[in-house]
Amino acid sequence: MSASVSASRVGVWLIGARGSVATTVVAGCAAVTAGLHPPTGLVTETPAFADSRLPALEGLVFGGHDTLDCPLPKRAEALAAGGVLPHGLPAAVGAELTAADHEIRPGGPLPGDTRTDDELIAVFAADIRDFARRRGLDRAVVVNVASTEPAATGTALPASSLYAAAALRAGCPYVNFTPSTGLHHPALASLAASSGLPHAGRDGKTGQTLLRSALGPMFAQRALAVRAWSGTNLLGGGDGASLADPAAAAAKNAGKERVLADTLGTVPEGEVHIDDVPVLGDWKTAWDHVAFDGFLGARMILQTTWQGCDSALAAPLVLDLVRLVARAHERGLSGPLAELGFFFKDPVGEGSSALGEQYAALTAFAGRLRDGRTR
């Protein structure tokens, strides 16, 4: 179904604009708006969002920053060769990929970059403002889909926080689809609070953690005692390579483990591992092994195997988030949008980690966007 939409023109400024997720967002949006594919996986195209006055997919305009210079159509061809995008799609949406490619500006900091943090923030913010002005946009949403960084230590601003600061300086709502620090840096707290802008994050919930947030509440509601919950992920692609760094993987795994602690009320034994297997590309296998006790101590095991295409799972959520956050901005909402916790491993603000409760909060939020109530 097609939601009742607004005609506003909304910019989507992707940090990591030449990555797998970003390329799938641009190609996928073009494919759906051209009627080449149904909007499978797009939560905002379901009946709960009818009349929420979300921006139309047709009104989204793409640009962004990246530190690589591989043209977007070439990235899309590589994704099609890996089976992530359907064969023939890069050619069918070549004009849209080229248009987005023309709006990608050099990211940073690059090796040997001598610019100060403030200079980098100023350049990034100017790029975003220039995009919004030239393209006649009503607003632009900045979305971080760049490589996962190691958790920030000390006071230095990591790249993700420089971009988050630039989003605020350019007057744009901000979404952090990664576990990187972004707006969570203490140096940005007062700026974020006084900006009057809405923001959402962190780390898109697309596979193993999605399953955990659905199954964790089931064990708790059935009074079954989970003794251990262990998980292993195998994936390749750029994300697999980034997460081969134990510090980057630690940032990702913290979110996965938090969901279990919140939904079960205890921290079960067990760890999560992420292994880089380059030949798998964007195709992830996630195993979970859950040891639990039933009545009279009967010992049981649940095992799940999730075989997903990472970017195909992530891209529709990025489009959903852009539409929801843009509409929230239009309605004058500001601060952390806890109601969007449904989409994240480590949501901002206060809210449940259980998927069912998160969905109820999201659909209530859809109602608020419809009515125009701000609280």
Ligand X SMILES: NC(=O)c1ccc[n+]([C@@H]2O[C@H](COP(=O)([O-])OP(=O)(O)OC[C@H]3O[C@@H](n4cnc5c(N)ncnc54)[C@H](O)[C@@H]3O)[C@@H](O)[C@H]2O)c1
Which of 106, 170, 101 is CA-nearest to residue 137?
170
**Cα separation of 93 and 184, whole Å?**
36
x/- track of binding to ligand X for residues 27-66 (CB under 6 A): --------------------------------------xx
φ, ψ of residue 158 in degrees (nearest 5): -70, 165
Distances, alpha carbon 319 to alpha carbons 42, 184, 283, in Å: 8, 22, 21
Is 100 among the residues that bind ligand X (CB under 6 A)? no
Under the binding rule (CB under 6 A), the answer on residue 101 touching ligand X is: no
Residues 285-314 that bind ligand X (CB under 6 A): 310-311, 313-314
Report the alpha-carbon distance of residue 225 to residue 266 in Å, rounded: 10
Cα–Cα dist 74/153, whole Å:
36
What string of DSSP letters covers 318-353?
A: HHHHHHHHHHHHHTT--EE-GGGGGGBSS-SSS---
Q: Which is nearer to ligand X, 107 or 341 (CB)?
A: 107
Q: How far is the CB of 310 from ligand X (least distance, A)?
A: 3
Of 77, 103, 127, 203, which one interacts with ligand X (CB under 6 A)? Answer: 203
Residue 106 or 294 having the CB closest to ligand X:
106
Taking CB under 6 A as the criterion, the residue among 237, 268, 281, 341 binding ligand X is: 237
Closest CB to ligand X among residues 156, 364: 156
Asked whether 284 and 207 are in contact (CB, 8 A), the reply is yes
Are β-strands 139-144 and 174-176 bridged in parallel, bridged antiparallel, or unpaired?
parallel
Q: Is 18 in the site for ligand X (CB under 6 A)?
A: yes
Residue 16 binds ligand X, judged by CB under 6 A: yes
347 binds ligand X (CB under 6 A): no
Amino acid at 284: K
* Shorter beta-carbon distance to ligand X: residue 237 or 336: 237
Q: Which stretch binds ligand X (CB under 6 A): 199-207, 296-304, 319-327, 366-374?
A: 199-207
Q: How far is the C-alpha of 238 from the C-alpha of 201, rounded, in Å? A: 21
273 beta partners: 232
15 binds ligand X (CB under 6 A): yes
Nearest-approach distance from CB 118 to ligand X, in angstroms: 16
Is residue 238 within the footprint of ligand X (CB under 6 A)?
yes
Tell me: does residue 341 bind ligand X (CB under 6 A): no
Q: Of 57 and 313, which has the nearer Cβ to ligand X? A: 313
Contact between 3 and 45 (Cβ < 8 Å): yes
Asked if residue 322 binds ligand X (CB under 6 A), the reply is: no
Residue 177 in contact with ligand X, rule: CB under 6 A:
yes
Task: For residues 277 and 292, give the distance between their C-alpha atoms in angstroms, rounded to a whole number.
Answer: 30
Question: Could you please report the per-residue DSSP string of 156-224?
Answer: SPPHHHHHHHHHHHTT--EEE-SSS-GGGSGGGHHHHHHS--EEE-SSB--SHHHHHHHHHHHHHHTT-
Over the window 139 to 168, marking each residue x when it contacts ligand X by CB under 6 A and - when it does not, the resulting string is ------xxxx----------x---------
The mark string for 104-123 relative to ligand X (x by CB under 6 A, - otherwise) is ---x----------------
Is there binding between residue 233 and ligand X (CB under 6 A)? no
Taking a C-beta distance cutoff of 8 angstroms, is the pair 36, 85 a contact? Answer: no
Helix (H, G, I), strand (E, B) or coil at 14: strand
Min dist CB 31 to ligand X, Å, is 18
Give yes or no for residue 67 binding ligand X (CB under 6 A). yes
Q: Which residues would be at the binding site for ligand X (CB under 6 A)?
A: 15-16, 18-21, 65-68, 107, 145-148, 159, 177-178, 203-204, 206, 237-239, 242, 310-311, 313-314
